[in-house]
Structure 1
Amino acid sequence: MKIELHILQNFAPSNLNRDDTNAPKDCEFGGVRRARVSSQCLKRAIRTNETFSNALKSDDLEQNASVGKRTRLLKDQIIAILGLQEDLKDVQKTSDKEKTAKTENSKKLDDFIKAAVKTAIDDSDATKMLIHYDDSEIKMLANLFSKVLSGEKKPEEAAKEFKPKSKASDIALFGRMVAENTDFNVDAACQVAHAISTNKVSMEMDYFTAIDDLKKDFASEDAGAGMIGTVEFNSACFYRYSVVDTNQLKANLDGDNELSKKTVRAFIESSIAAIPTGKQNSMAAQNPPSFVMAVVKDSCAPWSLANAFEKPVGPGQNGLVVSSIERFDDYWGRLVSVYSNDGVKTAVLFTTENVDLKNLASSRVSGKKELVEKIIGAI
């Protein structure tokens, strides 16, 4: 079974996701330039949004579902769990001999991490690889290293007992790949497309000045600004698409059906709520989606409806948002007429706009809450 999510979201002037030149990311689609927000940016916005973790809390589960941590600071995490920070401070106040002994333990921890995780520790005490961990995995590493501290095992011996095993909902959704240690690998249950604008975009330039508050008014030697600069931005209506394979998700969560449903709920709710954070302090483009459609499919192939916007949408009389919704509705109808919707178990949508839907009117519900409940009920 697959669950698809289609979102149309119009943003005011913004720079949500920057490239290496600090310009908003873009791409060519349908022969014209489109605004773009990368898949990676969207996934991070989804999994770090508080809606995601809040939706995973439940009295029905033996314990709240977990959300992983993607970090290079594994050593700091292990030290914190074992309470070694205060020990380090105490040692620094005592003899050089004890300080040397503590340094030796630090080296043992480096050796342990390198053997267990298959990544070295650099001079800043960070792992050379950025890895996504479940909290339980970090605790397991800390417990194993405590055996090294007690002298029960050598670092390499303790490391052999570490078996990566995650039930974190975000890792189950988005997967995990560590080339040097395939034991960490988890096949992603979710595909997230790069969001692209339904309309053609042109980059705009904001020329700004910053005034030095302590300069004397009309100073004869320098009456100019303390700083000048430019920031690129755009405004666009984005089409966002993602699909979750519920069978793969359930397998990633050890067959836990309730946790799988909770994870799907968290993903849908957070996908609707999440907005990338790029340049938000300067732009405040906190614009919620204008259209959300979720589809549950038993058998037929997933459909991205990006090609509905292969010809860019123009604002027209009704504006970009309504025109984009109408284009989406029309293309859905054409796909159904050609391929049929036999494999579609449920299709549910809501919109903020007063728009006449010719093909999807029967799928319309009042809002987010009803959409989520109908989708969860269908799986």
Structure 2
Amino acid sequence: MIIELHLLQSFPVSNLNRDDVGQPKTATFGGCTRARISSQSLKRAARLLFDQHGLDTAETGVRTKRLLTEAAKVLAERGKHSDDAVAVAEAGLAALGFGIDKNTKLTEYLLFVGRQAVELLADFCAENWDALLATANKKRGKKGETEDGEKSTKDKAKKAKPDKVTEEKAKRILDARRAVDVAMFGRMIADNKDFNVDAASQVAHAISTHAVANEFDYYTAVDDLKPDDESGADMIGTVDFNAACYYRYANLNLAQLAANLDGDLDLVTRGARAWLSAFVHAVPGGKQNSMAALTLPETLLGVVRERGAWNLANAFLRPVTGSDLMATSTARLAEHFERIRGFYGDSQIRSVTAASLAGDLSSLDNVDVASNLDDFIARVLASTKA
């Protein structure tokens, strides 16, 4: 069973997702420039809301490079010497197959793990304290010397290939069967594919339904304590922005989610509800303090299907024009969906639920029209159980 979520959302002056030079991200689509918000930005904005929409914080994960330092803190709180705790945690991660930057004590890349991972790593280090401390002491030579008494010129926490017993312990530390966002968005660990998690959710980059040209705001600021007889600005700068109506698309494969969550149907159900609610409310945080582009989607289309998936972005391959972009975009979305359904058939579709604050949905056939968000989510989820 697959849930698809299609949203139309208009943002006023905003720079929600910047590129490397600070401009709002864009993409060329249908021969013209569109505003764009990356899928990564939208996923982060959504998953940070999961605990506000029915999930406990303990049922979500964290993305971090700081497993070593956090586990060392736990070991120190348990009475271990802080320097030894850091060295043992480093040796522990190396034994589990993860490389560590010797200067920063960070893992080589962000790890997406359940919130219990820090405690579990600390437990692993405590259980193997003597062996790991011996390895750490051998490595650091107590005074920065090698076994031969020569000064060490190379001090890297090299990755090891763990044996089967140690790998099982690593799997327990990296276990994501209770971390709903890891189960949804997946995990890829290049050094060990056994730790990978296939994502249950796919998220598209949001693009504007119409052509967009980035603009910039020229601003000045004045020193409040400047003498009255001095004039002129004390700071001058520019901030890039645009304003756009975006098409957003994401889907959730409930069978994959159930497999990732070890068949916990209660967690799957609550996770699906949190996914729907969070994605509707997800707004990236870029430049929000200076622009407050805190708008909500105005058109929502939810499709529940047995198989397949339809991204409806091609409804806007020809850019929308006119003064009422939301109403026109809503009509385009509905018409495009009906054309695809008519051509490819809809035997795989269980239900279509729609709601719109500003558009005409009359071209949609066999659709449940929801009166509010709670009704929309309830209708979508109910059809997954039919």
TM over 0.5: yes
Q: Which residue of 1 aligns with 2:147?
A: none
AA of the residue aligned to 1:119? G
Q: Which residue of 2 aligns with 1:40?
A: 40
| Pair 1:312-2:319 in alignment | yes
Q: Which residue of 2 aligns with 1:132?
A: 112
Of the three residues 53, 56, 60, the one matched with 2:54 is 56
AA of the residue aligned to 2:15? N
Q: Which residue of 2 aligns with 1:276?
A: 284
In the alignment, the residues of structure 2 paired with residue 285 and residue 133 of structure 1 have an alpha-carbon distance, to the nearest angstrom, of 31
Encode CA deviations 1:308-348: one digit per residue, 9 max, x unaligned.
000111134xx111110011111111111111211110111
Contact 2:84–2:133 at 8 Å: present in 1 too? no
Larger mean Cα displacement after TM superposition, 232-241 or 142-151: 142-151
Encode CA deviations 1:187-225: one digit per residue, 9 max, x unaligned.
111110000000110111100012112221232xxx321
Of the three residues 175, 200, 208, the one matched with 1:189 is 200
Larger mean Cα displacement after TM superposition, 173-182 or 121-130: 121-130
In the alignment, the residues of structure 2 paired with residue 261 and residue 355 of structure 1 have an alpha-carbon distance, to the nearest angstrom, of 31
Of the three residues 179, 183, 190, the one matched with 1:179 is 190
Q: Which residue of 2 aligns with 1:262?
A: 270
Of the three residues 64, 69, 72, the one matched with 1:76 is 69
Number of residue pairs the alignment of both structures matches: 353
Larger mean Cα displacement after TM superposition, 319-328 or 143-152: 143-152
Q: Which residue of 2 aligns with 1:97?
A: none
Of the three residues 350, 353, 356, the one matched with 2:358 is 353
Of the three residues 215, 231, 235, the one matched with 1:204 is 215
Contact 2:212–2:242 at 8 Å: present in 1 too? yes
**Superposition deviation, residue 246 in structure 1:** 1.2
Distance 1:323 1:354, change over 3 A: closer
Encode CA deviations 1:134-173: one digit per residue, 9 max, x unaligned.
1233322111111133669967899553223212000000
**Superposition deviation, residue 65 in structure 1:** 5.9
Distance 1:76 1:106, change over 3 A: closer
Q: Which residue of 1 aligns with 2:369?
A: 364
Encode CA deviations 1:45-76: one digit per residue, 9 max, x unaligned.
11012xx1133348xxxxx7611010111123
Q: Which residue of 1 aligns with 2:246?
A: 238
In the alignment, the residues of structure 1 paired with residue 364 and residue 61 of structure 2 have an alpha-carbon distance, to the nearest angstrom, of 40
AA of the residue aligned to 1:295? V
In the alignment, the residues of structure 1 paired with residue 17 and residue 256 of structure 2 have an alpha-carbon distance, to the nearest angstrom, of 29
AA of the residue aligned to 2:65? R
Q: Which residue of 1 aligns with 2:336?
A: 331
- The DSSP-based 3-state class of the residue aligned with 1:120 is coil
Encode CA deviations 1:247-289: one digit per residue, 9 max, x unaligned.
1111111111221111111110000011000000010000000
AA of the residue aligned to 1:306? A
**Unaligned regions of 5+ residues in structure 1, if any?**
59-63, 92-101
Distance 1:74 1:270, change over 3 A: same
Encode CA deviations 1:122-143: one digit per residue, 9 max, x unaligned.
3122222111111233322111
**Superposition deviation, residue 2 in structure 1:** 1.1
Contact 2:94–2:100 at 8 Å: present in 1 too? yes
AA of the residue aligned to 2:206? A
Contact 1:265–1:372 at 8 Å: present in 2 too? yes
- TM-score if structure 2 supplies the norm length? 0.86
- The DSSP-based 3-state class of the residue aligned with 1:205 is strand
Q: Which residue of 1 aligns with 2:154?
A: none
